[in-house]
Amino acid sequence: MPDALPDERFERFEAPGVTPLPHPLTRPELLLAMRSNVLRIWGEAAYRERTLVGPFFGQKSVFTNEPEAIRHVLVDNAKNYTRTPATFRILKPVLGNGLFLSEGEEWRFQRRTLAPAFAPRAMGIVARVTAEVLDEELRRLKAEALGPHDLMPMIQRIAIEVAGRAMFSTAMQRRGPQLRKLFETYGRDLGMPYPSDVLLPASVAGPAELWRRLRGRRWLDFIKAMVEQRKRVSSEGRPRDLFDLMAEARDPESGRAFSLDELRDQFATFIIAGHETTALTLLWSFVLLARSPNLQDAIAREASAHDLSPVGAAAAVESLPVTRAVVNEVLRLFPPAFMIVREAKAKDRVAGYEIEKGDVVSVAPWVLHRHAAHWEKPTVFDARRFLPDAPPPAKFTYLPFGAGPRVCIGAQFALTEATLVLARTLEQVRLKTVDDVAVEPVAVVTTYPSPIPLFEIARR
């Protein structure tokens, strides 16, 4: 972003990052990075080169930052690519046959049928629910927060409460605490990759898998109970939540509706795919805004010009350009879904390289969004990049939500929620971190700051 646009509302500074190794990683270094911080698997060359090819745990792997090649794999020839066996292994026990893992005709049916639940009219539900949850949380925050404060519990409560109420409204009143507890007990562990996930053939179950299946069963049973409970409540004509929209949805082509088990898998998928990703977007936003008092003021000013109450939030959310620019910049520097991996089903050619069936092609939003060829001062936090009058990022260089037919179905949900939470929170409080401890981004399942800083909160 050119410095010709001086604007003191927008602080700019070097964002937290990892220092990449100057050499290609050895196998032990790779294994260690996979378990401790996946962001360390990319050496310096990944941030400079367009495409890198090499073996990755016995498979040929093509890693690309080339927009045309990314478009080819995710959009133009997407049907030649599938999620990898390791992805199925890790996620199947908790996502079942929901949208994320389904394939082919079954996936097309699901995506068509789910589309209305994520259309603009449904975002009105998300905006209202976000404002309601936030009102409760901000009251609590202002009452509690005098000394150093850990914002993470509040952020996690917001994310799970918004997802739960937007999807299940009434059932959430009774089962919400249990849902939160299930998450707290094993949320992050569920997706932790183990070496056996990539080393064992797809047909062989490793020890991690047996453990995941056991816990996954408990999770899916719990979601099913929520679905059953919610199903007993009438919607009284108007869709009350996404449950109503999904339970009533019919495939526009075949007229088929979702069965109870199919609804269970969709909700399990949405809660897992949407909860941690949105929570971490919020956490990183607060970490970066803590260093940007002027930007906090700009967001507060913008927010106070609109009605962000449960009644007005849906109409206001599109009129918060500064807040939205911050969310977009946070998603550039700290994309929660830091890597998109595909396995080829048949021969292809990507970025000039021959691809055989079984080869792996990966795109890492984490690297792409910090790549020297695509961004000016790539590691600098600068929300001006995403103001409405700034030039949009070049095509296929900014993919926090992926691209093509498998693009995130919850993108508008997440953007609506994150924009409203930031605007409403900063309208009411100022925050800064307690001391200047350097944080390191760490990715295991999603990308979080380590250590998670404490914040000082002051009422406006």
Residue number, 404 or 457, with CB nearest to ligand HEM: 404
The encoded tokens of residue 141 equal 């925050």
Site string for ligand HEM, 110-129 (x = CB under 6 A): -x------------------
- The rounded distance, in Å, linking the Cα atoms of 259 and 247 is 9
The encoded tokens of residue 404 equal 């093509």
The distance of closest approach from Cβ of residue 269 to ligand HEM in the complex, given in angstroms and rounded to an integer, is: 5
- Residue 96 is a binding residue for ligand HEM (CB under 6 A): no
- Residue 400 is a binding residue for ligand HEM (CB under 6 A): yes
- Residue 191 is a binding residue for ligand HEM (CB under 6 A): no
Residue type, 228: E
Question: Which region among 334-342, 349-357, 372-380, 390-398 touches ligand HEM (by CB under 6 A)?
Answer: 334-342
Residue number, 281 or 323, with CB nearest to ligand HEM: 281
**CA-based nearest residue to 443, from 85, 211, 191, 212:** 191
Residue number, 403 or 457, with CB nearest to ligand HEM: 403
Question: Which region among 134-142, 283-291, 332-340, 366-374 touches ligand HEM (by CB under 6 A)?
Answer: 332-340
Residue number closest to ligand HEM, CB atom: 410
- From residue 24, alpha-carbon distances to 30, 44, 113, 134, 383 in Å are 9, 8, 45, 46, 32
- Residue 274 is a binding residue for ligand HEM (CB under 6 A): yes
Q: Which of residues 337-396 bind ligand HEM (CB under 6 A)?
A: 337, 340
Helix (H, G, I), strand (E, B) or coil at 271: helix
Bridge-based pairing state of the strands 340-344 and 360-363: antiparallel
- The rounded distance, in Å, linking the Cα atoms of 105 and 111 is 10
**Of the candidates 65, 278, 323, 425, which one interacts with ligand HEM according to CB under 6 A?**
278
Place of tokens 């075949």: 254
- Residue 169 is a binding residue for ligand HEM (CB under 6 A): no
The distance of closest approach from Cβ of residue 130 to ligand HEM in the complex, given in angstroms and rounded to an integer, is: 11
The full DSSP string for 338-353 is --EEEEESS-EEETTE
- Residue 408 is a binding residue for ligand HEM (CB under 6 A): yes
- From residue 44, alpha-carbon distances to 18, 25, 52, 262, 404 in Å are 11, 10, 11, 44, 28
- Residue 328 is a binding residue for ligand HEM (CB under 6 A): no
The distance of closest approach from Cβ of residue 460 to ligand HEM in the complex, given in angstroms and rounded to an integer, is: 26
Do 292 and 9 form a contact (C-beta atoms < 8 A)? no
- Residue 86 is a binding residue for ligand HEM (CB under 6 A): no
- Residue 308 is a binding residue for ligand HEM (CB under 6 A): no
Q: Which residues have a Cβ under 8 Å from the Cβ of 256 and sit 6 or more positions away?
A: 109, 113, 250
- Residue 273 is a binding residue for ligand HEM (CB under 6 A): yes
Q: Which of residues 193-232 bind ligand HEM (CB under 6 A)?
A: none
**CA-based nearest residue to 381, from 304, 423, 437, 325:** 325
The distance of closest approach from Cβ of residue 402 to ligand HEM in the complex, given in angstroms and rounded to an integer, is: 3
Query: Helix 152-168 crosses helix 120-144 at what angle (to 10 degrees)?
Result: 150
Residue number, 100 or 375, with CB nearest to ligand HEM: 100
Residue type, 56: F
Question: Which region among 27-35, 351-359, 374-382, 398-406 touches ligand HEM (by CB under 6 A)?
Answer: 398-406
Q: Which of residues 7-46 bind ligand HEM (CB under 6 A)?
A: none
The distance of closest approach from Cβ of residue 401 to ligand HEM in the complex, given in angstroms and rounded to an integer, is: 5
Question: Which region among 38-46, 62-70, 178-186, 333-341 touches ligand HEM (by CB under 6 A)?
Answer: 333-341
- Residue 401 is a binding residue for ligand HEM (CB under 6 A): yes
Q: Which residues have a Cβ under 8 Å from the Cβ of 430 and sit 6 or more positions away?
A: 293, 296, 457, 458, 460
- Residue 336 is a binding residue for ligand HEM (CB under 6 A): yes
The distance of closest approach from Cβ of residue 226 to ligand HEM in the complex, given in angstroms and rounded to an integer, is: 15
CA atoms within 13 A on the CB side of 60: 11
**Of the candidates 84, 113, 281, 328, which one interacts with ligand HEM according to CB under 6 A?**
281
Residue number, 29 or 132, with CB nearest to ligand HEM: 132
Output b/e per residue, 350-384; b: 16+ Cβ within 10 A: bbeeebeeebbbbbbbbbbbbbeebbeebeebbbb
Q: Which of residues 43-82 bind ligand HEM (CB under 6 A)?
A: none
| Residues near ligand HEM (CB under 6 A), total | 22
The distance of closest approach from Cβ of residue 406 to ligand HEM in the complex, given in angstroms and rounded to an integer, is: 4
Q: Which residues have a Cβ under 8 Å from the Cβ of 416 and sit 6 or more positions away?
A: 123, 126, 127, 130, 317
Q: Which residues have a Cβ under 8 Å from the Cβ of 31 and sit 6 or more positions away?
A: 195
Binding site for ligand HEM (CB under 6 A): 99-100, 111, 269-270, 273-274, 277-278, 281, 336-337, 340, 400-402, 406, 408-410, 413-414
